Amino acid sequence: MRRPRCGLPAISERSGTAVKGLTVASRDAMTQCCVIVPRNWPRKQLDQKYASKFEARREPSHEEYVMTKKTDADPSQPSLRPATRLVVGGRDPAANHGFVNPPVHHVSTVLYPTAEDFLARRSRYLYGRRGTPTSEALENALRELEGPACAGVALLPSGLAAISTALLALLNAGDHLLVTDSVYQPTRNFCDGVLKRYGITTTYYDPLIGTGIAALIRPNTRAVFVEAPGSLSFEMQDVPAIAAAAHAMGAVVLMDNTWASPLYFRAFDKGVDLSIQAATKYIGGHSDVMLGTVSANKATWERLSDTVHALGLCVGPDDIYLGLRGLRTLGVRLAQHYQSGLKIARWLEQRPEVARVLHPALASCPGHAIWQRDFSGASGLFSIVLKPVADTAVHAFLNELSLFGIGASWGGFESLAIPFNCASFRTATKWAPGGPTVRIHIGLEDTDDLIGDLERGFAALAAAR
């Protein structure tokens, strides 16, 4: 670009014409956190009265000269709908030379202009694991999606890391924790292993307990952990009722909100204090990244943030970028998972081999009324209970499927199906569904192709009886 006077139209060097909608910013408008110094001015001559207030920045070359555009819609405005927030949240093209996506910062060391700046830590960024523009972009986007009650978001290396870090942030030796019996099994392992070694007691409760949870809260109960629905057995918890009872007795509420995401379940509006997601799943959306997030309200954010920093936890910039890229299309992908999953769940309800379909969006599901009240959508994950057959027949069914992979996790573009049995690890409730159980994730394939694949699987099941 040619270098016109500030405030005049920016002139394209290629065409020699004004660039519509763009002007050269005045130096005062270019930034509120930087002071411009001449390119040949030695850093040590920078006046300390400026260094105490601003971050030193060299004057840009004419190729770097800043251009401004009329301010876009503020993503924090309540008028923006969730689908729009997914697109605009955490984005600031003007700060990145007009590029739509933020750069991927591979960093460790942050340099300071002077020794005084270093000792006073006068810098927006302190060290690579304490935050970068890349991590801030995803954190800000998620905070805007969660809503105004979200005070901050922490990024962790996996969903399990997010769960364990959130629990460690809240609990001390001698505390008591209540956890739903339908919880993700690795969460149970962490509670029964690590937390037990640290002198923290865990009690598991019936996921359908509702307000009855008040009877289980002790004087030393610090937190209640919910997961709605359970990611294997799909009981739908009454989160608002549980949260109200917990808060009345001084306990905080943590929730694994991976199944619905903030797009379909507004956790903070329902009384949750810490909302956790395995961003490995629907946020990433492509089965190519490990990532976890914890969103916290004002009452819990400082403690969560301090714990993350004290443990030295951070996420690599490439994984953060994959999460941010996936977030932009979460709305359209999750809508497709929802509709495709519901179509196939209804088809499975009619199959003679199936005793029950465990999907909260089905009217036949016991948790349907709560789902209707509290959720605005569903994901593509649900389970089925088969009529009694031998395990060999179930394996034949799964092995025959060509479009459904057999593997852990879910939330990617591909469909999955796995056998499971909760009986061995349930402690507060008895798992007796009446037949073998299979968890299904419906991906983004054509539903008619998936139905054809399931029909072939059921034929193999019949042949193996």
Model confidence band, residue 76 (pLDDT cutoffs 50, 70, 90): low
* pLDDT tens per residue across span 44-64: 444 444 444 434 444 444 343
**From 57, 58, 129, 426, the catalytic residue:** 129
What six digits make up the tokens of 52?
Answer: 């105490």
d(CA 141, CA 439) in angstroms, rounded, equals 31
**From 117, 238, 256, 273, the catalytic residue:** 256
**From 281, 333, 356, 439, the catalytic residue:** 281
Give the pLDDT confidence score for residue 289 in this predicted structure.
Answer: 97
Helix ranges, 63-158 (H): 82-88, 115-120, 133-146
> At which residue do the structure tokens 């099994």 appear?
185
Any idea of the CA torsion for 96, 97, 100, 106, to the nearest 10 degrees? Answer: -40
Model confidence band, residue 74 (pLDDT cutoffs 50, 70, 90): low
Verify whether residue 356 is a known catalytic residue.
no
Verify whether residue 281 is a known catalytic residue.
yes
Give the pLDDT confidence score for residue 22 in this predicted structure.
Answer: 41
Taking the complete model, does pTM exceed 0.75, yes or no?
yes
Write the CB contacts of 70 (distance below 8 Å, at least 6 apart in sequence): 21
Verify whether residue 430 is a known catalytic residue.
no
Burial of 145: CB neighbours in 10 Å, binned 0-12, 13-18, 19+: buried
Contact 444, 413 (CB under 8 A): yes
* pLDDT tens per residue across span 262-298: 999 999 999 999 999 999 999 999 999 999 999 999 9
Return the closest-CA partner of residue 172 out of 209, 222, 215. Answer: 222
**From 91, 143, 184, 356, the catalytic residue:** 184
Contact 112, 123 (CB under 8 A): yes
Beta bridge partners of 384: 357, 438
> At which residue do the structure tokens 């002198």 appear?
199
Return the closest-CA partner of residue 136 out of 104, 159, 163, 94. Answer: 104
pLDDT, mean of residues 428-440: 97
d(CA 88, CA 321) in angstroms, rounded, equals 15
Verify whether residue 112 is a known catalytic residue.
no
CA–chain centroid gap for 311, Å, is: 20
Return the closest-CA partner of residue 234 out of 454, 419, 382, 397. Answer: 382
Write the CB contacts of 445 (distance below 8 Å, at least 6 apart in sequence): 340, 403, 414, 415
Give the pLDDT confidence score for residue 77 in this predicted structure.
Answer: 58
**One-letter amino acid of 334:** L
In order of their start, the domains of the chain are 21-70 (no CATH), 119-328 (3.40.640.10), 331-463 (3.90.1150.10)
Model confidence band, residue 79 (pLDDT cutoffs 50, 70, 90): confident
Count the helices and strands in the chain (H runs, E runs): 16, 17
Model confidence band, residue 16 (pLDDT cutoffs 50, 70, 90): very low
d(CA 199, CA 24) in angstroms, rounded, equals 61
d(CA 120, CA 62) in angstroms, rounded, equals 32
